[in-house]
Amino acid sequence: MNKEKVLITGASSGIGLTCAIYLTYKGYKVIGTSRHPEKLNNDLLKNRYLEMLTKYTITHLKSSQETLVKGKIQIPDEIFENLDNLIEKIEFKPLDVTNSNSVSEIIPLLMAEGVRIIVNNAGSGFFGPIETLSIDHSKEQLDLNYFGQIRVIQNALPYMRNDGGIIVNMASLGGYIPLPFHSHYSSSKSALRMLTETLRLELQPFNIKVVSLNPGVINTPFNVNMHTPKAGSGPDSYDYQEENSITTLKKLLNALPTPKESPYYSAAKQTWETVVRNMIRGPSPQIVAEKLYKIITSKNPKVHYISSNFIQRFGYFLMRRITSDKLKIFITRKFYGI
- How many domains does the chain contain in total? 1
Mean pLDDT of the chain: 86
Q: What is the pTM assigned to this prediction? A: 0.88
In the predicted model, what is the mean pLDDT of residues 60-64? 74
**What is the distance between the alpha carbons of residues 139 and 63, in angstroms, rounded to a whole number?**
39
Sign of the CA dihedral with 255 first, then 258, 263, and 264 last: negative
Count Cβ atoms within 10 A of the Cβ of residue 79 and give its class: 0-12 exposed, 13-18 middle, 19 or more buried.
middle
User: From CA 65, how far away is CA 245, in angstroms rounded?
Assistant: 10
* pLDDT tens figures, 124-180: 888 899 998 888 888 988 999 999 999 999 999 999 999 999 999 999 988 888 889
Here the CATH number for the domain that contains residue 223 is 3.40.50.720
Residues of the domain holding 192: 5-336
Sign of CA dihedral 142, 53, 305, 129: negative
pLDDT tens per residue, range 211-248: 999 998 887 655 445 444 333 333 333 333 334 344 56
Phi, psi of 262 (to 5 degrees): -70, 140
CB-neighbour burial class of residue 221 (10 A; exposed 0-12, middle 13-18, buried 19+):
middle
| Residues 256-274 pLDDT 10s | 888 999 999 999 999 998 8
C-alpha neighbours within 13 Å on the C-beta side of residue 272 = 26
